[in-house]
Amino acid sequence: MSFELILLILMLATFALSVFVMKMPAGVSLILASIIGALIAGEGIPVRHLVEGGFGFIEAILIIATAMIFMKVMEASGALAQISLGIIKTFHKSPTLLLIVIVLFVMFPGMLTGLSSTCVLTTGMLVAPILLAIGMPRLAAGSLIAMAAVFGEVAPPISIPVMIIGGGVDMPYIGFTIPLMLVSFPPALFTAIYYRIRYVKPYNIDDVLKKLDHLKPSEQGLKIFIPLIFVIVYMIGEITFSGFIPHLGVPLIFTIGAIIGIAISPGIKIITVSRSALRMALPVIVILVGVGMFLQILTLTGVRGYLAVSALQMPDAIKYLAAALMPFMGSAYASASVIGVPLVYVFIGKSAIMVTASLVLMAALGDLMPPPSLLCAYAAQTVEEKNHFKILKQSIIPIIFSMVTGLLVLIYAKELAKLF
């Protein structure tokens, strides 16, 4: 057994021991595993490499921080509540279409921030009363919100797990829009239709609206949507008309959108909103810092090169089994960095972009899994369910469908790349 493999096993063991036994946060556990790996390799505590690695995902960290502030401004302005109320009034005659739109609405914050937890804690909390008001059982409503959050984390334009894997294999974040749509929207559509058929019975819209009386339309009118329109239009325009529109970058676009929102709704307190947003984003930011350090130490000690060479020699059955085990890491970001990066090398003969997209879907399902089961815990809070593992149990069918989708895209990555 080579020294690099022994070192990798010890680093992974340190991470697992820290998370599952010592109950430390995943980000802190990754930092600890990085330091232990450097010490075992005889590098001491390489401060320069740890700092350099910690800043490896600075762009993703800035996107998360600014996007969370923007979403909190939208929430405080009443824009999200007004959209939520508009959804039920517009689509109540077609329960199937209503469920599809609700799933897309829950996904929306994740598509902008790359964070699954944002979906549950913003739009998820808004649609939970709607789902309960139309008669959906609490566990089903919580499960639907949790699954939509997973798909929001995967869907374009922002996918943090893709950025993590891309950073590990030196692959730019370009050309992922269609592959990410391919692995996120079909499972999202299946989930919406599955819950519609199984759990939504005929309902009276007047009774539903009475139960949603607390969702009051904003007094600011339609102008509260200007920041949202600006962010979406500028992001699309920056890609479509790159030669004519100045490139601001995603963090600055979100910052300008938040400033516009505060200017339109002067009652919003920027300090309070920013503090709340960063408090929600901090656990994920720490994970990204830890992932950066972990990857940097893997490179410093030669483990990354060893994985790239050894991965090519793995039997096909083992390759796909490793991909199928990605959801059971308990965290999308840990799974993307620890397993996702080597697997891109494993499937080097296929389309790297399509392979990465499929692996990201598998990794994102990890946010549902124990021991943390963060999405299930958050979703349980939104529907007032004490045992969040019941949410996970309720989600088994959509999880299986998503895993099958991810594996099929992985198996036929080369053919799909040619098709799209």
Lowest mean pLDDT, pick from 47-51, 135-139, 169-173, 392-396: 169-173
Res 345 pLDDT > 70: yes
**Share of residues in the chain with pLDDT > 70 (%):** 95
User: Which residue is associated with the tokens 């059955």?
Assistant: 317
Res 203 pLDDT > 90: no
HEC profile for the chain? CCHHHHHHHHHHHHHHHHHHHCCCCHHHHHHHHHHHHHHHCCCCCCHHHHHHHHCCCHHHHHHHHHHHHHHHHHHHHCHHHHHHHHHHHHHCCCHHHHHHHHHHHHHHHHHHHCCHHHHHHHHHHHHHHHHHHCCCCHHHHHHHHHHHHHHHHHCCCCCHHHHHHHHHHCCCCCCCHHHHHHHHHHHHHHHHHHHHHHHCCCCCHHHHHHHCCCCCCCCCHHHHHHHHHHHHHHHHHHHHCCCCCCCCCHHHHHHHHHHHHHHHCCCCCHHHHHHHHHHHHHHHHHHHHHHHHHHHHHHHCCHHHHHHHHHCCCCHHHHHHHHHCHHHHCCHHHHHHHHHHHHHHHCCCCCHHHHHHHHHHHHHHHHHCCCCCHHHHHHHHHCCCCCCHHHHHHCHHHHHHHHHHHHHHHHCHHHHHHHC
Mean pLDDT of 212-216: 71
Contact 199/398 with Cβ under 8 angstroms?
Answer: no
Res 11 pLDDT > 80: yes
54-58, 236-240, 297-301, 305-309: which is most confident: 297-301
* Number of domains present in the structure of the chain: 1
Res 238 pLDDT > 80: no
User: Residue 181: which residues within 8 A CB-CB, separation 6 or more?
Assistant: 155, 156
- Whether omega before 157 lies within 30 degrees of 0, making that bond cis, reads yes
What pLDDT sits at residue 38? 94
Distance CA 177, CA 133 (A): 35
User: Residue 254 to residues 115, 127, 141, 249, 312: CA-CA distances in angstroms?
Assistant: 15, 24, 30, 9, 41
Task: Tell me how crowded residue 134 is: count the other CB atoms within 10 A of its CB.
Answer: 25
What pLDDT sits at residue 335? 80
- Give 142's pLDDT tier (boundaries 50, 70, 90): very high
What pLDDT sits at residue 121? 77
Mean pLDDT of 77-97: 88
What tens digit of pLDDT does each residue of 253-266 get? Answer: 889 999 999 999 88
Distance CA 395, CA 351 (A): 30
Residue span of the structural domain in which 206 resides: 3-419
Mean pLDDT of 135-163: 93
Please choose, from the candidates 308, 408, 288, the residue with its C-alpha nearest in 3D space to the C-alpha of residue 355: 408
What pLDDT sits at residue 68? 85
What pLDDT sits at residue 312? 63
Distance CA 24, CA 174 (A): 34
Task: Tell me how crowded residue 165 is: count the other CB atoms within 10 A of its CB.
Answer: 28
Mean pLDDT of 5-16: 88
Residue with the bigger pLDDT between 208 and 271: it is: 271
On average, the pLDDT of the chain sits at 87
What pLDDT sits at residue 169? 83
pTM attached to this predicted model: 0.78
Res 46 pLDDT > 80: yes
Please choose, from the candidates 325, 301, 333, 327, the residue with its C-alpha nearest in 3D space to the C-alpha of residue 9: 301
What pLDDT sits at residue 330? 63
What pLDDT sits at residue 376? 86
Q: What angle do CA 166, 170, 52 make, to 5 degrees?
A: 95
What pLDDT sits at residue 403? 95
Q: What angle do CA 44, 14, 379 make, to 5 degrees?
A: 130
- Give 416's pLDDT tier (boundaries 50, 70, 90): very high
Distance CA 33, CA 225 (A): 45
